[in-house]
Chain A
Amino acid sequence: MHRSLRFFVLMMGLFLVASSYATDASQAALTTDDSLGPLVEQPFEFPHNRHANDMQIDCMYCHTYARRSAVAGIPPLQKCIGCHQSIDSVRETPRIKKLFEYWEGSEDGKIAARTPVPWKKVHDLPDFVRFNHERHIKRFIEQQNRPTQEACGYCHGDVKDMTVARRSKPLSMGWCASCHEKDHPVTGEGGVAVGNQAYWYSFQKPVVEAAGGAVKAKGPNDCWQCHK
């Protein structure tokens, strides 16, 4: 009796500790389609608008890995310097001076030469989600010839109007599905849409009654394609 009482107290204590810890953890509220992600403070402000809009530089000039890898990557420091060492007009502006501190080392010695800039991640999916940039670039830009800024913008919003990038889409599973359902229906033999795309949330592959039983799906139709 005494033992079970002791156990009960332990249980309740743990319950309280765990729940208070979980509620206290500051997390951003769930965002919807039209709500922006939090403002992320970066080591120094990078003007996306200047590069992508005013200068009309292609996104993939800097985020060059997007077409070759699952991740888009941040351009190497060398790439920033490669251009900016010959752009004298902005060489003395505060942001560029800061940039060169990472390349040449700062005067106070706090930043060593050739230190990569510690940017904060803005679009950071949880570790259990695997999004592949390469496949989307291949489809939209290489196969369908859509403009780079439009294709990147499906998920990243109008980066050309931003300075520091800010998340403008929810990047939740339902949001991913909203595109894949609309544009890539799962079709049976003869192009008939099947399953009403309910598989996204019922976690089941569509059952096809069509002749031959073939299922043609564009885009992911299995959990493991993103959760691997």
Chain B
Amino acid sequence: MIDSGFDRRDFLKVLGWSGAAVALSGCGNTSIEDGRETVVSYSEPADYVIPGIGVYYNSTCAQCDAGCNINGRVREGRVLKLEGNPDSTINRGKICGLGQAGVQHHYNPDRLREPLLRKGDQGETISWEKAYGLIAEKLKGVDGEEMAFLTGGMSGHLKVLLGNYLASFGCKNHFVYEAVSPAVVRAANKKSYGMAMPRFSINKAKVVLSFGADFLGSWISPVHFSQQYAQFRKGVDGQRGVLIQVESKMTLTGANADRWLAIRPGTEGVLALGIINALGTATGEIAAAVKDYDRARVSAETGIAPGQIDKVAALLKLRSPSLVLAGSAAEGYAHGSQNAAAINLLNHVLGNMGKTVEVSETIPFPQMAPSLGNTAALKSLNDGLSAGKYKVLFSYAANPVFTAPGALKFKEGMAKAGFKVAFAHYLDETAMQADLVLPLDSALEDWGTQVPEYLATCAQINVQQPLMEKLHANTRGMGDILLALLKQRRADEYKGYEDYYAYLRDALLKNKSALGGGKIDDDTFWNETLTKGIIKLEGPVGSLATKVGAAGLKLPVSDDGDDQYPLHLIPSVTASLRDGRHANQPWLQESPDPLTTIVWDSWVEIHPKKAAELHIVEGDIIEIASRTGTIKAQAYLFPGIHPDAVSVPLGRGHDAMGRYAKGFGVNPFQIMDAVFDKETGELAMHETRVKITKTGQRVIVVKDEGAAGGKQMGKKIAVRLSTDDVDLSEEV
């Protein structure tokens, strides 16, 4: 928000005048710069290193858990640009904007460089030896039950090492936490499809009906799905695929949809059952379960016109196979599991099983398979912490102080842990609360293996290798740290490994024949593996459920809201900032949000009708109050949101984590109530009810778009039609 008396016009004048001044006095100077810069040669270069010519290495993107394979250009020993690895089955040579920004994670000026030990409010620089010694000292006599290890999603050899470390204490408290994860959908898929993550073939579908799955933006494996989506749009048999998106707040995927239906928050499952009813093809148990969901009732509950339900059902009947996806918008409620189950039922009824919902392979090494993050883990960790159960707490690749819902009061709970160790790249909110902070290598400096949760066409192990020398001498890779800690516990077992690289090489070579390198010698296999960056495997194939019952499917009658807090808060996950761990990468702060074009700040999306009712205009600073807390942000009038909801994007509002993250925007996690899905215990992200009030302040919203209804070359730019005004028969 710009909030000062110095307006844009004045700013431009200043800029113009000072520019002119420099230009005038600068006349006649040459720009040849002899003798000013130093040119440093190599001391002992490798043969293939030629200044000015790039060398390319394959590795794995660590910006999210999708596991895209990347290819980095390195010139003069510095990594300059990341692209997708063409041999990847997941991203096939492409990466997203988030992945591109990976270099800003690596070169970030706010990266931690030295181990820090808390001394009052300050961090005192200590040596690694002292840090390891301190951990050993604090763990002396600590029972496995009294320590907890919090991490983000983990897989590969790092997971194996961590498992062994915890096992050496008999500790079972490994909490795998991801603030934004499709955990409810996973559980529902397991029930209705027989596997948590089947293969979704968007490219084979003729209609995709997505209930809030932002598969082009942030859902599971967006680069992979985007490519499938492109094929889907080209069409199977010349029929262009039709995308219908049902959600309460428009996502990037929703903006691309042919038909976007604004649904009353939380009633996604009701609509799914209504569609099954309208299809009229279900039999037996399912028919009985949906018989009450006639179009009048469904329309009344969901706020979607009866004609729309008929149109969607007609389209699904007309074109097969289709694909129905349950996304984060559907799962974010106390009845999220039920919502997802009802939506998944549609795939069975429509006969999509085995056609667009396909069986997927699994990784043949179960010990390396990903430990998937969820929010139920946070709840149990928080309960343990508040009860003062843990003497030592470790935290890696998670920032719960920032991402835990305000109602959990995680920070207070964490303070009760005796000794808190954070492995971190930056001094983020969680590291700020720790007693010992250990600086990590960036993802472009570290070794590792990763197994993606969503496997595209075959099982694969992704290889992560350093693209360049370490930028800072005193950072360590997480693998090296775990190895050092393991040596404290099981010295005999691990003394043969000098570092994590040696461990990794040994571990892969031991399984050479299982990894497809049976006939070649060790060095060749290892070099080939690093060159390719991917190990493709044939894994065991799971099996899909062919039949599913509708028993136990019970959707709550939608409530009419709450007098005190009448609106739903939809914390939106954006493609670039996700849960906020990337907020210190300025490219991501600077790239405009695809839907609102706002940069460097948070906003509150309000439907224009609701805004008119409350006399709110764009730029009004609004206070959003929930039972848990309040935040203030600028209003943005957005027709792509249900009038009963307001939406604030996640990811911003840091009060630590460096110059590019701290102080930009607000953090909606702070005001989230602690409501959980009844079946899985996952946090119901969309259940927070809020009220909004004007504060009286108003700012100019910093955004790229022009005035609403703007014109370009005398023509209207984007024609917008209400879905009710479109005749579906013309569409298909």
Q: Which residues of A line the B interface, CB within 8 A?
A: 7, 10-11, 14-16, 18-23, 27-31, 37-38, 40-41, 65, 68-71, 73-78, 103, 114-126, 167, 170-172
Docked Cα-Cα span, A81 to B337, in Å, equals: 71
Docked Cα-Cα span, A44 to B24, in Å, equals: 39
Q: Which of A18, A27, A171 contacts B21 (CB 8 A)?
A: A18
CB of B296 closer than 8 Å to a CB of A: no
Q: How far is the CB of B39 from chain A (nearest CB, A)?
A: 5
Q: How large is the interface on B (under 10, 10 to 19, 20 to 34, 35 or more residues)?
A: 20 to 34
Q: Is the CB of B24 within 8 A of A124?
A: no
Note all chain B residues with C-beta closer than 8 A to A16. Answer: 21
Q: Which of A30, A37, A117, A119 contacts B34 (CB 8 A)?
A: A37
**A-contact bits for B25-45, CB 8 A (1 contact / 0 none):** 110111111111111111111
Docked Cα-Cα span, A74 to B30, in Å, equals: 25
Q: Is the CB of B18 within 8 A of A14?
A: yes
Q: Is the CB of B32 within 8 A of A126?
A: yes
Docked Cα-Cα span, A85 to B45, in Å, equals: 18
Note all chain B residues with C-beta closer than 8 A to A125. Answer: 32-33
Docked Cα-Cα span, A171 to B22, in Å, equals: 24
Q: Which of B22, B24, B37, B41 contacts A116 (CB 8 A)?
A: B41
Q: Is the CB of A77 within 8 A of B39?
A: no
Q: Which of B29, B35, B45, B52 contacts A71 (CB 8 A)?
A: B52
Residue of A nearest to B5 (CB): A3
CB of B50 closer than 8 Å to a CB of A: yes
Of residues B24, B30, B35, which shows the largest number of chain A Cβ atoms within 10 Å of its Cβ?
B35
Q: Is the CB of B38 within 8 A of A121?
A: yes
Note all chain B residues with C-beta closer than 8 A to A22. Answer: 21-22, 24-26
Q: How far is the CB of B7 from chain A (nearest CB, A)?
A: 11
Q: Is the CB of A172 within 8 A of B39?
A: no
Q: Is the CB of B30 within 8 A of A124?
A: no
Docked Cα-Cα span, A69 to B45, in Å, equals: 15
Note all chain B residues with C-beta closer than 8 A to A40. Answer: 34-35
Starting from the known contacts A22-B25, A103-B43, 16 additional A-B residue pairs (CB-CB under 8 Å) come to: A11-B17, A14-B18, A15-B17, A22-B24, A28-B34, A65-B50, A65-B52, A69-B52, A76-B43, A76-B45, A116-B42, A121-B38, A124-B33, A126-B31, A126-B32, A170-B30
Q: How far is the CB of A184 from chain B (nearest CB, A)?
A: 23
**A-contact bits for B310-353, CB 8 A (1 contact / 0 none):** 00000000000000000000000000000000000000000000
Docked Cα-Cα span, A28 to B29, in Å, equals: 7
Note all chain A residues with C-beta closer than 8 A to B41. Answer: 73-77, 116-117, 119
Q: Is the CB of B34 within 8 A of A78?
A: no
Q: Is the CB of A14 within 8 A of B42?
A: no
Note all chain B residues with C-beta closer than 8 A to A114. Answer: 43-44
Q: A65-B50, A69-B52 are in contact. Are A28 and B14 (CB under 8 A)?
A: no
Q: Is the CB of A14 within 8 A of B52?
A: no
Q: Is the CB of A121 within 8 A of B51?
A: no
Docked Cα-Cα span, A167 to B17, in Å, equals: 36
Q: Which of A78, A124, A126 contacts B43 (CB 8 A)?
A: A78
Q: Is the CB of B39 within 8 A of A119?
A: yes
Note all chain B residues with C-beta closer than 8 A to A122. Answer: 34-35
Note all chain B residues with C-beta closer than 8 A to A123. Answer: 34
Note all chain B residues with C-beta closer than 8 A to A69. Answer: 50-53
Residue of A nearest to B76 (CB): A71
Q: What are 24 inter-chain pairs, A to B, with CB distance below 8 A?
A: A7-B13, A10-B14, A22-B26, A28-B30, A30-B30, A38-B35, A40-B34, A65-B52, A70-B52, A71-B51, A76-B43, A77-B41, A77-B44, A116-B42, A119-B38, A121-B35, A121-B36, A121-B37, A121-B38, A121-B39, A167-B32, A167-B34, A170-B30, A172-B30
Docked Cα-Cα span, A84 to B35, in Å, equals: 26
Docked Cα-Cα span, A52 to B165, in Å, equals: 62
Q: How far is the CB of A81 from chain B (nearest CB, A)?
A: 9
Q: Is the CB of A15 within 8 A of B18?
A: yes
Q: How far is the CB of B353 from chain A (nearest CB, A)?
A: 53
**A-contact bits for B667-686, CB 8 A (1 contact / 0 none):** 00000000000000000000
Of residues B22, B34, B52, which shows the largest number of chain A Cβ atoms within 10 Å of its Cβ?
B34
Of residues B24, B36, B37, B41, which shows the largest number of chain A Cβ atoms within 10 Å of its Cβ?
B41
Q: How far is the CB of A91 from chain B (nearest CB, A)?
A: 20
CB of B613 closer than 8 Å to a CB of A: no
Q: How far is the CB of B645 from chain A (nearest CB, A)?
A: 43
Note all chain B residues with C-beta closer than 8 A to A117. Answer: 41
Docked Cα-Cα span, A29 to B20, in Å, equals: 21
Q: Is the CB of B37 within 8 A of A120?
A: yes
CB of B10 closer than 8 Å to a CB of A: yes
Q: Is the CB of B21 within 8 A of A65?
A: no
Note all chain A residues with C-beta closer than 8 A to B53. Answer: 68-69
Q: A76-B42, A77-B42 are in contact. Are A19 and B34 (CB under 8 A)?
A: no
Note all chain A residues with C-beta closer than 8 A to B34. Answer: 28, 37-38, 40, 121-124, 167
Q: A11-B13, A11-B17, A22-B22 are in contact. Are A116 and B30 (CB under 8 A)?
A: no
Note all chain A residues with C-beta closer than 8 A to B13. Answer: 7, 11
Q: Is the CB of A121 within 8 A of B42?
A: no
Q: Which of A19, A103, A116, A121 contacts B33 (CB 8 A)?
A: A121
Q: Is the CB of B17 within 8 A of A37?
A: no
Note all chain A residues with C-beta closer than 8 A to B37. Answer: 120-121, 124
Q: A18-B21, A78-B45 are in contact. Are A118 and B38 (CB under 8 A)?
A: yes
Q: How far is the CB of A108 from chain B (nearest CB, A)?
A: 20
Q: Which of A41, A75, A170, A171 contacts B35 (CB 8 A)?
A: A41
Q: A73-B41, A116-B41 are in contact. Are A171 and B14 (CB under 8 A)?
A: no
Q: How far is the CB of A46 from chain B (nearest CB, A)?
A: 12
Residue of B nearest to A118 (CB): B38
Note all chain A residues with C-beta closer than 8 A to B10. Answer: 7
10 smallest beta-carbon distances between A and B, as pairs:
A40-B35, A69-B52, A74-B41, A22-B25, A18-B21, A71-B52, A19-B21, A76-B42, A73-B51, A126-B31
Docked Cα-Cα span, A119 to B20, in Å, equals: 36
Residue of B nearest to A126 (CB): B31
Of residues B21, B38, B40, B50, which shows the largest number of chain A Cβ atoms within 10 Å of its Cβ?
B21
Note all chain B residues with C-beta closer than 8 A to A41. Answer: 35
Docked Cα-Cα span, A140 to B160, in Å, equals: 59
Q: How far is the CB of B430 from chain A (nearest CB, A)?
A: 38
Docked Cα-Cα span, A23 to B24, in Å, equals: 9
Q: Is the CB of A77 within 8 A of B32?
A: no
Docked Cα-Cα span, A22 to B52, in Å, equals: 32
Note all chain A residues with C-beta closer than 8 A to B51. Answer: 65, 69, 71, 73
Docked Cα-Cα span, A132 to B171, in Å, equals: 61
Docked Cα-Cα span, A122 to B21, in Å, equals: 30
Docked Cα-Cα span, A60 to B221, in Å, equals: 50
Q: A27-B30, A30-B28 are in contact. Are A78 and B44 (CB under 8 A)?
A: yes
Residue of B nearest to A12 (CB): B17
Docked Cα-Cα span, A116 to B401, in Å, equals: 45
Q: Is the CB of A27 within 8 A of B38?
A: no
Docked Cα-Cα span, A37 to B36, in Å, equals: 12
Docked Cα-Cα span, A186 to B7, in Å, equals: 51
Q: How far is the CB of A137 from chain B (nearest CB, A)?
A: 13
Note all chain B residues with C-beta closer than 8 A to A76. Answer: 41-45
Q: How far is the CB of B36 from chain A (nearest CB, A)?
A: 7
Note all chain A residues with C-beta closer than 8 A to B43. Answer: 76-78, 103, 114-116
Q: How far is the CB of B61 from chain A (nearest CB, A)?
A: 28
Docked Cα-Cα span, A124 to B28, in Å, equals: 18
Q: How far is the CB of B658 from chain A (nearest CB, A)?
A: 27
Note all chain A residues with C-beta closer than 8 A to B20. Answer: 15
Residue of A nearest to B49 (CB): A76
Residues facing A in B413-439 (CB within 8 A) are: none
Note all chain A residues with C-beta closer than 8 A to B18. Answer: 14-15, 18
Note all chain B residues with C-beta closer than 8 A to A71. Answer: 51-52
Residues facing A in B45-83 (CB within 8 A) are: 45, 50-53
Docked Cα-Cα span, A200 to B232, in Å, equals: 49
Docked Cα-Cα span, A101 to B44, in Å, equals: 15
Residue of B nearest to A30 (CB): B30
Q: How far is the CB of A98 from chain B (nearest CB, A)?
A: 15
Note all chain B residues with C-beta closer than 8 A to A31. Answer: 30, 32
